[in-house]
Structure 1
Amino acid sequence: MGRDARREKENIADFVAKKREMFLVQMSLDVKKAEILKLDARAKDKEEALNKSKQMLDKDVERFDTFLSTNDSKAHAAMKNADETAKQKQERVGRIKSLKSQLSAIQSEIAKHREQKDECLRFKDFLVNLTPGEWKEQKREEKKQRKHERRRIAVDARMEDIEEKMQAEIEAEEQAFKEKEEKEKKGRRRQKKTEEDEQKEREAEARRKRIARKYPTRDQVDMEYVEYSSGEEMPLYFQEPKQLLDIFTSLEESNLFLIQNSQDTEQALEELDQKFAAMRKTREAMSNKMKLQIGQLERQITDEKSKCDELKQAISQKHGGSEIEDLLEKLGEGVQEVHSICTHENQDDGDTLQMLARIESKLEEYLAYLDEAEESGLGARVLAEEHKKERQRRLDLRMSRKLHQEKKIEDRLKASLHRSQAPVHKKVGKQIMFRSAPLFQARRVVQEDDGYEEAVREHNIFGIWLDKEGVPNAQQPEKAET
């Protein structure tokens, strides 16, 4: 029994194990079937996707083919359009060339006509310049009269229009007044006929004045008128060739007359130039002579000034009244000598100033004689005599200067001899010395440090500083006054 029970247990265990294995196998089969089904579904999906992709690819190929075909057609159309455009461009270029050639021909024609116009305008200006002034003035007056006539006609037309309007308005006013009067006659009593007529006349006159004030007067219309030119050019005076020939003939005659007058004027001018040259030559000779005389006089003045300076120096050195009298006496003798030479008289008047005046008058007389001699043709001889006298004067001046120099040397030698013979004065005693300057003592300035710089540095760094007592302070340090 025990064995059977054990065998049954073993059989049950085997059965369970087999069942378990079968279950596991079945489960694995089910899993594999499910996996196979899943793979089949996935393969089917892939196949469907592949079919769809193939269809899409076919569609893309078709679209690409259609694109290529349309692109080819567009390219052919573009090439055709380009050919047509090139052909049109060539046609337009040819047309432009033809238009340019026509334009250049027209411009050349315009330039030719402009040149002809300028030439005609030059001829016209030439003819206008040749036109007589009386004829021009006559045409201007005619143009002015035409302007006045146009103005008068315009003002008259405007005034007629204004008068018509005014008359129409007056008649309308009269008609309205008559109608009003007829209506009023029914409701009022009868008055005298004369008073009614006068009243009517006054009212009619007032109405006329009131209406007339609305419209401008003739003066106002005349002022409002704006003048304008008709644009007509002045007609040419020359209508026939004979007129131009007559003008040329008269101009030629006037030109010949002017040429003859100019020749006469040139001849007179040449004569005046010759006279002026001769006069200028004589004046230059006279001016040169006067310059020489001025130079001589200046040299004489210089010599006299030097003599005067020497005399002043001699007088200032001597300071003696008798010597001054001697000097004046010498000057008087010199003046008397010159006076006797000039006047050929040996008499002595005693007045030096009168003798100098006679000398001056005699010199002026001699100079006048020399001028007359030069004008009479003896200029060369006068010039030779002047040179001779000038050489003699220079020689005399040189001799006088030499004598004066020798005299000065002699006076200097005498003065030096006198100084050498004079006794020698020796200085006795100690030489005077200048007082010496006082000694300069430099002082050293010692400045006491009150800690101001240190306080400023601490305040700049820390914002506070300590005073001498050690108390902190936040304010800006101040320097103590000494």
Structure 2
Amino acid sequence: MEQKRSMFLLQYALEMKRSEIQRLEMLAIREEARLQRAEKFLEKDASLFDEFLRENDRSSVQAMRLAEKETKAKMEKIVEIRHLTAQIMNIKSEISKIEDTLQHYKIYKDFLYKLSPKEWLEEQEKKSLALRKVKESVETAKDSSTPTLLGDRGSGTKSKTALLWKEVQNLKKPSKLMQGRLGQVLSSTLSLPQVGYQSQPSLHSEMDTRLSNSPVLPQDNTDSDGEEQALYFTEPQQLLDEFMKLEEQNLSLIQNTQEMEETLDDLNTTLKNTQIRMDREINQMNQWITTMLLSIEKEEELSAELQLKARVFHFGEYKGDQQDKLLESLNHKVLDVYRNCVGKQQEANLGTVQMLTVVEHLLDELLENLEHVPPARIEQAEKAKERERRIRIREEKVREQKQLQEERLQRARARAQAEIKKKRGRRLVCRSQPPIIRVKDESDHTLMDKDREEMLFFFT
């Protein structure tokens, strides 16, 4: 039983292993089939990816070619645009130059019209009115013309209007060559340097006055037919003659202005000189007034002193001997002054009053002559006299100081040589001194000092 059981178990184990082996083999076969299918799918995908890459390469190459073509076309267009812009700029610059020249020509034309005389301008205005009337008649004839009137009558009216139109055109047409020459002359005359800077304003003012006074012809730059209008100046010499006339007028005005300036300068110099002279005379007169006022004050003081002396003399304080001495001293002083002023040769038996009158006459003559002396010399003489007077006063002060010093030394010596007095008794206490009553004593010394001051004042 045990053997059967073991055999059964062995057979069962073998069968189980066989079934497991079969199952595993089936799984392996399935996996191999699945792997084969996956490999096929991978090969298909690889082939598709290769085709995609090839297509992508082809499309990228085509795109690069298209981009190159587009860039070339773009560059060509840019170059064309640049050429066109350059041409446009050149054309614009030419247009601006032509416009500038046109403006210059218009200015020249207006200038010539303004320079032209009034009679010619009136004639041109009449011609322009006649031309307008002819144009209006032609336009009305064209508007009112009908097919029935386009026969013989129409031809007759047309012939008449054509004749009128030709006459007006012949009146209008100027020579183009002459216009070019006039433009050259205008440009050359306007660009030439002027005679002088001062002549330019007067020339321009003359031209402005003439241009403002001249009536301007109402006109357009060109007529409706495109024809140019006539000009008064047919030759350049006419313009040159006009400019020469204006230049002569300008030169005459410049000469007149220069003469007026010279006269003004002369008047200014004379006025300044007279002003300076008047100021100098006024200053001299003021100085003389001040000196005269000072002398008047001193004379008044002297007269007051003399009045006081006369009163004192009448009261009997002066004696006859003193009066005689004073008169003799006065006579001697007047005689000294007379000798210094007149000289010893003309000395005669003259009294004091007569000598004083002679001295006064001499003083009057000297003052009259002093007016004719230049002020510079007077100032120099005054400065010299002032210097001498200061030196004299300084010397007198030094002399007085020396005298005072000598007096002090003498007093000090006398004080030193005096006997010493011993103080006895009770010592005095310092108390306030009563006020000292000072009496003015006019001695002979003070009178001599006053006489000296008068001599210094009048005769130095």
Alignment TM-score, normalising by the size of structure 1: 0.41
Question: Which one has more relative contact order, counting CA pairs under 8 Å at least 6 apart?
Answer: 2
Alignment TM-score, normalising by the size of structure 2: 0.43
For the pair shown, which has the larger CA radius of gyration, 1 or 2? 1
